[in-house]
Amino acid sequence: MFFKSNEIIQDTDALIREHSEKVSLPLSQEDKELAMKMLSHVKCSQDEEISEKEDIRPAVGIAAVQVGVLKQIIAIYIQMSEDEVIELAIANPKILSHSVQMTYLKGGEGCLSVEEDHPGYVPRYARIKVKAYDCIHDHEVILRLEGYPAIVLQHEMDHFKGVLFYDHINAVNPWEPIEDAIVIE
Ligand SMILES: [Zn+2]
């Protein structure tokens, strides 16, 4: 189950700048199916054979607005190592607390909705504590994330406010060092 490439909203579409609404709980069947399809999309996108054949761009996360639905739903799938996978399909995530320390990806970020390269550092909180509704297991969860998964979730949550990763890049000096930040290779 995945979205066709022409179903993914691009940043040339004004919809990508819209705000997403919270979903009502318990999750409706429609919202649950959307969350599961989004998660499946991200998984499929990481399968070389499927992604090539179906022309799906590889991704680690997706927000509902990217498939044209203005609801606070996110799916994330990250293979951290051979036996550790971070798999999330969540609704209404809220950051309860975060570190003062920042982090960023050394190579910058990318996005399914952004075709062009936007080089530069994107500062994110290094550690976040998030309350969310787990759409897979149907209950509320508290997530404590750090490093790469924390960056991915913050990127996806930005989509709820119509914010794109390149909005955070220092326009004058995109590669300006960020003080005390953890660099992720
Ligand atoms: Zn994105």
Domain residue limits, the chain:
5-184
Confidence (pLDDT) at 155: 98
Instruction: Enumerate residues 6+ apart whose C-beta is below 8 A from 161.
Output: 19
- pLDDT tens digit string along 167-184? 999 999 999 999 899 999
Confidence (pLDDT) at 169: 97
In this prediction, residues 138-152 reach a mean pLDDT of 97
Distance 27 CA to ligand 1 centre (A): 23
- pLDDT tens digit string along 82-140? 999 999 999 999 999 999 999 999 999 999 999 999 999 999 999 999 999 999 999 99
pTM over cut 0.95: yes
Catalytic residue IDs: 156
Confidence (pLDDT) at 78: 97
- pLDDT tens digit string along 46-56? 999 999 998 89
Give domain 5-184's CATH number out of 3.30.450.20, 3.90.45.10, 3.40.640.10, 3.10.180.10. 3.90.45.10
Where is 131: in which H helix or E strand? strand 127-134
Distance 17 CA to ligand 1 centre (A): 12
Confidence (pLDDT) at 107: 94
Identify the CA nearest to 161 among candidates 21, 7, 51: 21
Confidence (pLDDT) at 167: 98
Q: Is 139 left (phi over 0), alpha (psi -120 to 50) or beta?
A: beta
Distance 184 CA to ligand 1 centre (A): 18
Percentage of the chain with pLDDT > 90? 95
Distance 15 CA to ligand 1 centre (A): 13
Rounded-to-integer distance, Cα 27 and Cα 116, Å? 35
